[in-house]
Structure 1
Amino acid sequence: MSVEKWENNEEIKIFREYLRIPSVHPDINYTGCVDFIKRQADSLDLPVEVVYPAVESKPVVIIKWLGKHPELPSIILNSHMDVVPVFPEKWTHEPFSADLDEEGRIFARGTQDMKSVGTQYLGAIRLLKASGFQPKRTVYVTFVPDEEIGGSLGMAEFVKTDFYKQMNVGFSLDEGGTSATDVHHLFYAERIRWVLKLKIGGTAGHGSLLLANTAGVKLNYVLNKLSEFRESQVQWLINDKSINIGDVTTVNLTQLSGGVQSNVVPPLLEAIFDMRLSITLDLVAFEKQIRDWCEQAGGGIEIEFPQKDAYVAPTKLDDSNPYWLALKAAIDELKLKIKPIVCFGVTDSRFIRQQGTPAIGFSPIINTPVLIHDHDEFLRADDYLNGIQVYKKIIQNLTEV
């Protein structure tokens, strides 16, 4: 397909229009996204509602496609409107220009994560409606805010609302991961995110002395213990080829602060660690181990968890889950290769699963460099259009469960 044909393709036009809305952190104004989605709903002749589960600046936009049997549990097709920050000087194209090059690559923040998914859902519904198809189950296409910063004022609050309860959700489809190979990654669970903050008190004094129980010495002890644990996970990943990063626990020191002058031993140091815990890890035992290390270091360490997600049961991928069977049938019919994995990060699916509802993350993007949150993020126009066809079959199967 030539550049002109891509440029003139209606679905590509819609996608590029969405990409040009700079819904980028921090301090996002979602008005442009809301107006865009409302126009898409009008073009599909489907009703749309906007709700504000937490604050007025954080809208959730819901397009409803009524099913023939609306009493049945519904299907959610979810995506998030927000994208992560960019460093424009690192891009060869303007990050929100949606430039289309001669190879058919569309460059913009959100091409892979995850504006493409939101408009591909709509493209698939457009095809299904044009064919005369009406779903058995009601379909809700949801566009949520703030997923990239944890979703605490987005999906996390939306699932608590009466509006959500009235949707009677039976299954949710959400984002998967871009694949550099021909294998689609399918998320059936997510690691558990903890943020560990240590406030380490110690003996203060002159920098020329060898004082006992300084904050630096205590920090060094705890950091070494956490690093040893981290290395055990690295080795596990290296030695067991059947697992991937989502199956192990990651620990990373991400923030360090304290001290006032180079020759003054400080009375307090603070360290923050990002932890993504394996769903097989004993959470109680792991927290006790952290507390034991802090005591062994000499005590005087205040332990906080600014974020401490609870364990959420994985979505079952077996005969007990009819939605999985329908999704798998579509995948098999399309002759797609898939690999079910635990998501290495977190997505809004965890909030759906917390309600006891099965949720699966899926992406039709394959054979593409993984540029999620990276510079020069792009998606090929042909791959985008193919994704619409993939979702068409998947949505049809899910609604007919």
Structure 2
Amino acid sequence: MLGTNRTTEEEVGGVEGMKLLVHHEEFKRLNVAFALDEGIASPKDALKVFYGERMPWWIKITATGPTGHGSQFIKETAPTKLLKVIEKFMNLRNEQEKLLEVGLHHNGQRYTLGDVTTINLTFLQSGIQYNVIPMEATCGFDIRVSPFFDMKEFQAKIEGFVASQPGVTMEFVNGHFDNTLTAIDESNIWWTVFSDACKGMNVDYETEIFPAATDSRYLREVGIPALGVSYLKNTPLLLHDHDERMHEDIFLEGIEFYNTLITRLSNVTAAEVEATLIK
């Protein structure tokens, strides 16, 4: 059986959409074996195929300290402590940015954004008056954790950054803590069918870790293999940008691509799936 699912709530994180749906009894009764999700455009003559994605962590850090008049040297102020913690995060950010520039996989391919962890300071708040030292300072980070990172080790590292200053706390505003990947080898019958279909249509592809977040992560978390792919090769990457577009030839090619691919996937038998699981 072939099914389609449209979840507009995905744009704001999927927390009240797919995250809940995959645990619903109605969904479980569907017995979903495999899923195709969105990809992104590629300026190359090859599709981008995503078999995993980075974990989105949004964290809020709060520092507290003594107040007083701005004419004094007051020690251990909230802004001072927060800035010291921020510096540690930004140093780690610089390390990851450098790794993206020089990192190579075993096959010689350069790292892509999904292979590293991005850390971005997205807000910074403290104080109201120019001449009064505030008792509290807060900041927010948008962190996207690569599945190639040891998640527990990384969490312990950033918690250590926060603990290095007294009176500083950290809160997860949003966090996904599963980094399951979909196998892209012969152990996965769905991957075999997908790659064979692409080969038969002379469609080139590149496998990557999705740098942002899609609903696929909730499917993978409950054991459903999923691939993210959009037939958008030779197309500029203009996500939510002005003049986001695709050429009509690519649109028409995409119809043929999905007709062939979905037909192939739909013809996979339960016995074929079981055979790969036994291996």
TM-score by length of 2: 0.91
How many Å separate the matches in 2 of 1:287 and 1:209?
A: 37
How many Å separate the matches in 2 of 1:314 and 1:212?
A: 47
SS at match of 2:6: strand
Give the alignment partner of residue 273 of structure 1, picking from 118, 141, 156: 141
Structure of greater relative contact order (alpha carbons < 8 Å, 6+ residues apart): 2
Superposed CA deviations along residues 342-392 of structure 1, whole A, max 9, x for unmatched, are 000010001111110100001110111111121221122221111111101
Question: Which residue pairs with 2:123 in the alignment?
Answer: 255
Matches within 5 A, 1:54-203: 138-203=1-66
Compute the displacement of 1:153 (Å). Answer: 1.5
CA contact (8 A) 1:174 1:359 kept: yes
How many Å separate the matches in 2 of 1:193 and 1:368?
A: 26
Compute the displacement of 1:163 (Å). Answer: 1.5
Compute the displacement of 1:320 (Å). Answer: 1.1
Report the residue type matching 2:59 in the other structure: L
Question: Which residue pairs with 2:236 in the alignment?
Answer: 369
SS at match of 2:237: coil
Superposed CA deviations along residues 8-44 of structure 1, whole A, max 9, x for unmatched, are xxxxxxxxxxxxxxxxxxxxxxxxxxxxxxxxxxxxx
Question: Which residue pairs with 1:204 in the alignment?
Answer: 67
Q: CA RMSD in A?
A: 1.1
Gaps of 5+ in 2: 105-109, 269-279
SS at match of 2:142: strand
SS at match of 1:169: coil
Count of equivalent residues = 263
Gaps of 5+ in 1: 1-137
Give the alignment partner of residue 191 of structure 2, picking from 307, 315, 324: 324
Q: Is residue 2:162 matched to residue 1:294?
A: yes
CA contact (8 A) 1:189 1:315 kept: yes
SS at match of 1:142: coil
CA contact (8 A) 1:151 1:348 kept: yes
Question: Which residue pairs with 1:306 in the alignment?
Answer: 173
How many Å separate the matches in 1 of 2:3 and 2:11?
A: 21
How many Å separate the matches in 2 of 1:373 and 1:219?
A: 33
Q: Is residue 2:245 matched to residue 1:378?
A: yes
How many Å separate the matches in 1 of 2:218 and 2:124?
A: 30
Question: Which residue pairs with 1:282 in the alignment?
Answer: 150
Report the residue type matching 2:52 in the other structure: A
Question: Which residue pairs with 2:203 in the alignment?
Answer: 336
Superposed CA deviations along residues 207-254 of structure 1, whole A, max 9, x for unmatched, are 122211111111111111111100100111111242110000000011
Sequence identity, in percent? 36
Report the residue type matching 2:200 in the other structure: E
Compute the displacement of 1:265 (Å). Answer: 0.9
